[in-house]
Structures are given as structure tokens and as C-alpha cells.
Chain A
Amino acid sequence: MTNKPLLSVRDARVGFTTVRGVVRAVDGVSFELAEGRTLGIVGESGSGKSVLVRSLIGLVSATTGVEVEGQVVFEGRDLRKLSPADFRRVLGSEIGIVFQDPMTSLNPVTKIGRQIGEGLRLNRGLDRAAADRRAVELLSEVGIPEPERRARQYPHELSGGMRQRVAIAIAIACAPKLLIADEPTTALDVTVQRQILDLLQREQRQRGMAMILITHDLGVAASRADDIMVMYAGRAVEAASTREIFRTPRMPYTEALLRSLPRLSDRTHTRLTAIPGRPPDLARRTGGCAFAPRCSYRTERCDAEQPMLTREGGHGFSCFHPLANGA
């Protein structure tokens, strides 16, 4: 265990210029991730979690009208200061990414084996034959039967779950140190979701990779992540170890999220509590706490002033009226 984190993000900001003005999709988020650990980033859709992670690895900057700020240090190198070629080398060989929908994340007109081998040829210098062989090995490793035959097929010939396995094979092909899973199970059948999460976890442990697991499902994060960061309206509103978050949530938003989860201990037919209202319009930020309009603890101060992330021990939260410790 080294003390230096594998990845450290400081004050990340992403703004999109639209006709309605600048949308601050990510607004000053910082976090650290140690080797081999899993960080769950949890939030509703539109909370900025995907944009945050994609911007870190330079996957949103190509579009016009996007502004990315902040510092991203990966293995001691500031990614945002690397030359494009060096950056691509780090991205290709040390960071793997799995997207939400395997229907769209695989190239429809390229054979699966080629798609897996492509990164290997580019970043590991394998020739075509060696890359094809390795692709077959990877396919069998992620649990795809008849890997030789599958490698010669096109994505549309596979089921959704199989395709997500292929996407995982692509992500781990170059043995990355960091795996980013962006809602990897959202687009899949419920029965397959668990298999995919198991596969991700197994690969992570075997390879000692760090993982960022982005999900809107606090339950998924609970069972797979070491630490959890809750995002709301582009800001990190609570960050702590998974155990802490579940035992003593401090931020009312997290509490509301927890209440909306079904529990085994509940009586049958217990109604889940929905969070009233909707996420705020990011193009029209108010000066206050973004969650205030939906919060049951709201006071005048919440509307006037934006709470900063405060830390108590390893537990960070941004709220003027944190829930009592150990409540």
C-alpha cells in the first residue's frame, strides 16, 4: 500500500456553452482514489457524474463549447498537461472504460476480436495474429463461451449481456491500473446485471485495478464500492466510506436517497419514499444550496449561501444542517 493516491482530482469543473447560457455540469469536485480501491460515484441522472469522469479522461473536450478545468493527477502525472500523444498513451494503456449501453459502445461494423485487439496492437505493440489470439483469451476470461467463434462475429450477433462482457474485455485488454465503469448495468436485464457486476469485481481483484463505479443505484454502490461519493447538481455533496454513508449519512439528500431504497427489513407493501421535486436547472444556478428546494430541513440560509464541503474525520458533506452523527 502506497500513501500516494493512484488518481487525484482537484476542483474539476465542466461548463457547456448552450443557447441558454453556460451550463455548469460539474462544479468544483475533488476526490482521490488509491490503488486497488473502488470508488462509487452516485447521483441521479443529470447530476454530472458521467460528465465528471469523462472529462477527466478527455472524452468530452473534443466537442465545441465545452470548458474543462481542474487538476487530474494520475500516477504522479498531471493528465491535463500531457501532450495529446502522451495523453493517449496513458489513456489507452493504463485506463480502461466500460460504457452504459453495449448496444452503442461497440462498433457495429467491426468484428469483436478486432475491437478487442485494437488497443493491444496500438499500446502493446502486438502484431495482428498475436492480438487476435489475445482477444480470444480475453473473451474466454470474461466468460464468453466459444470465444474463437465469437471473436469473428459482429456485435449485433450477441446478446446485451454478452456485449457488455465484450466491452469489459476491451477495457481490461491492456491491463489498465484504473477501470472506469459508467453505469455498466443500467441498460441490461436485471438478471444479467448481477453477473456483470460480479465479473467486474472479480477482474478488479485479480488484477489489482482501482475502479470508479458510476451508478444511480445506491444499492449497487453499497455492495461493490469501498468508498462512495454522492453527487448532486454537479457537486459532491457527501463523500465517505461505504459503511459510514450507510450507517450515518450526514447530508439530507443522501438520507433521502437511502429512504428511497427498498430494505429487506421493511414490512411488505411498505411505500418507498420518493424525493419530491426535480433536480435543478444547471443553467440557472441560485446562490444557495442546490438541494434546498427539495429539502425538508431547508432554512433561509440554505437559499442564500452555498454550503462548502466540510470534513469530519474521513467523512465529507456539504450541508448547513447535517444530520446528527449516529442518528
Chain B
Amino acid sequence: MHWLARQLLRLVAVLFCVTLVTFLIVNILPGDVTIVILGTLATPQDIAGLRADLGLDRPMLVRYFDWLGSALSGDLGRSYRNGEPVAQAIADRLPVSLELMVLAQLVALGIAIPVALLSVRKPGGWFDRISASAAFGFLAMPNFMLGIVLIYLFSVSFDLLPATGFSPLSDGLWDNLESMILPALTLGLIEWTVLMRVLRSDLLTTLKEDFILLARAKGLPPWRVLLQHALRPSSFTLITVLGLNIGGLIGGAVIVEQIFALPGVGRLLLGGIFNRDLILVQGTVSFIAAGFVIINFLVDMLYAVLDPRVRHVRFRN
């Protein structure tokens, strides 16, 4: 449990640094919200008045700790632009982003695991070679490009799926899913390549182990050897990579939400950036970074739960 305490402490330290860095970036760098609000024709007096109203005239560190204090109680401030509470704005859009990322992850795993399993049945065989080339190709495809290509194929050429727009779950499950298929594919079709490569290489290592021979000696058919004995011990790097890739996934979600006009956190952030809405950007970036750090922390935990060897070393010693 000592280990857990240390990890938690580290988590808190990183979270603190991350919010501070966000605050510094957002506040030091040029770009003035007052001009956005008042327009370029505003008088210096108007601007000074507004700065005072918004509290922008106080020292930066004071403002940071102010912000941090209320953030800890769940108050991320109000948007300079429309007065909407930032926390509320994030909460409203979070489900969309989460749904997108979970679906994308399912698409990625749904492709990566079967493809990796089929490839290692005959390394260097035709399936292995084709899947490796496909992975190489998809890896070279930026998500904004893939999104456009998918829209072109499925919406413009064949008119099968909506190109943009979002139907909330309240419109019915199918409508909701239909609006999510292309966005999720856009993210998932790129993500699977990395997962497949990692899993394939780990599977190949595992398949050389004696316990695989023993499983075969027990008379298990090849597919059961693969699924029951090889897959789980080969999946630890996969899980680590899943965690590491969440950063990419979040970035991808920002772009995909923009392409497909999905009302998620990423679009909220972009809106904030375009409008120079300091407090909104500060809130969303901090929220995203904190979420990312916490997810990575949880992946580390999951790793310990899944691998009895790690559990043994970490929790008993």
C-alpha cells in the first residue's frame, strides 16, 4: 500500500504542475479577451474597467490560487463571453467526447485483436503481410484526412451515413450510433495499427514460451491455445499502449469533433480559443490534462490488477 500512496502523491504533484503550466501559458501569452469582448474600437478606459471587472488586474499567482481554490470545489469560473459556468459547459459536452473515445477504442480493439491473432497463426504468411501493409498505410493517414475520406466515401458517394451533426441518445440509440459511426471509425481506424503491432509482437514472443508447448501437449486445439494461453499474457504492453495513446486519442477527438460537428469538449475548447475566452480555455485544458493524467494513473493500476506477477511484486514487497 506504500507504493499506492507514493503514486497518489505523484499524481497530485503532476496535477498541480499541469494546472499551473496551463494558467501560465494562457495568461502570459499575448491575445486580449477585452478586445474580443469590446471590439477594437474600445477606449482604454473601457478596457481598463473591464479588466478590473474580470479581475485581470491582479497579480497572476494570486489569480492562479484563486482559480485553483474554486476549481477544487468544482467551480471553474464563468465564460467571459456568455457567462456560462465553465464546469457546467464541460459537463454538458463530456458525454459526447467520452462516447466518441470509447466507441473509437472499441473499433480499434475490435480490429486489432482479431487481426493480430490471425497474423501470428502464420507469421510471414499472406494474411500477416497484408495486415502489416494495411497497418503501415493507416499509420501514415492523419485523422483529419481519414475523416474527410470517410465522409467522401460514406456520405457523399454512397449517402449511407450522415456527414456531420450529432443526435443525442434521447433521439434513440440507432440515431445516436449512426451519427457516431464515422467519427468513431476515423479515430479507431488509425489507433488499431499501433495496438495490432504491439499485440502481434508480444504474441509472437509468448508463443515461443514453453507453457504454450505444454498447452499444445495437453491436446488443446490451436485457437484455444491462442485465446486461453497466449492472449492474456501478451496483452500487458497493449494495455500500456492503450494508456499512452489516450493523449493521441484526446487530440484526435478534438479534430474529429470539429470535422463532424460533434458538441464535445474538444469543440468547446476550440470555440474558447477562437474567442480568446481565457477562463474557458484554462478550465477545459486543465480538465483535459487532469483527465489524461488520471487515466494514465488508472491504467497503471489496471496493469497491476491484471498481471499477478506485478501485483505480487508491488503490493507484497
Please report A residues at the B interface, Cβ cutoff 8 Å: 54, 57-59, 62, 64, 84-85, 88-93, 95-97, 99-101, 104-110, 118-119, 122-123, 154, 156-157, 167, 170
In whole angstroms, how far apart are the Cα atoms of A97 and B211 in the complex? 11
The answer on a CB contact under 8 Å between A88 and B213 is no
Report yes or no: A119 in contact with B209, Cβ–Cβ below 8 A: no
**In the complex, chain B residues whose CB is within 8 Å of the CB of A154:** 308-309, 312
Contacting A at CB under 8 A, from B137-166, are: none
5 contacts between A and B (CB under 8 A): A99-B213, A108-B309, A109-B307, A154-B308, A170-B214
Which of B122, B210, B222 gathers the greatest number of chain A CB atoms within 10 Å?
A: B210
Q: How far is the CA of A154 from the CA of B308 in the complex (A)?
A: 7
Q: Are B233 and A122 in contact (CB under 8 A)?
A: no
Is the Cβ of A109 less than 8 Å from the Cβ of B217? no
Please indicate the chain B residues that have their CB under 8 angstroms from the CB of A90 in the complex. Answer: 219
Of the residues B211, B217, B312, contact of A92 by C-beta under 8 Å: B217
Pick from A54, A93, A105, A157 the residue with the most CB of B within 10 Å: A105
The answer, among B211, B214, B219, B312, for a CB contact under 8 Å with A122, is B219
Taken together as a complex, chains A and B put the C-alpha atoms of A315 and B220 apart, in Å, by: 39
Q: Is the CB of A57 within 8 A of B123?
A: no
How distant is the Cα of A105 from the Cα of B218 in the complex, in angstroms? 12
**Smallest CB gap from A153: residue in B:** B308
By a beta-carbon cutoff of 8 Å, the part of chain B in contact with chain A is: 122-124, 209-211, 213-222, 228-229, 232-233, 306-309, 312
CB of A170 within 8 A of CB of B218, answer: yes
A157 partner residues in chain B, CB cutoff 8 A? 312
Contacts of B210 in A (CB 8 A): 99-101, 104-105
User: A89 touches which one: B219, B233, B306 (CB < 8 A)?
Assistant: B219
Q: Does A54 contact B221, Cβ atoms closer than 8 Å?
A: no
Q: Which residues of B contact A122 (CB under 8 A)?
A: 218-220
- 5 shortest A-B CB distances, which residue pairs? A92-B219, A105-B210, A119-B218, A88-B219, A154-B308
Contacts of B229 in A (CB 8 A): 107, 110
Given A108-B233, A108-B308, A108-B309, do A118 and B217 touch, yes or no (CB 8 Å)?
no
Contacting residues, chain A, for B220 (C-beta < 8 A): 88, 92, 118, 122
Q: Which residue of A lies closest to B225 (CB)?
A: A62
**Closest CB in chain A relative to B152 CB, distance in Å:** 41
Given A59-B213, A104-B210: A118 in contact with B312 (beta carbons within 8 A): no
Shortest Cβ gap from A168 to chain B (Å): 12
Contact status B232-A97, CB under 8 Å:
no
Min distance, Cβ A135 to any Cβ of chain B, angstroms: 13
Once bound together, how far apart are the Cα atoms of A89 and B218, in whole Å?
A: 9
Separation in Å of the A190 CB from the closest CB of chain B? 22
B-side contacts of A156, CB under 8 Å = 308-309, 312
Q: Is the CB of A59 within 8 A of B218?
A: no
State which of B211, B221, B306, B312 has its C-beta within 8 Å of the C-beta of A107: B211
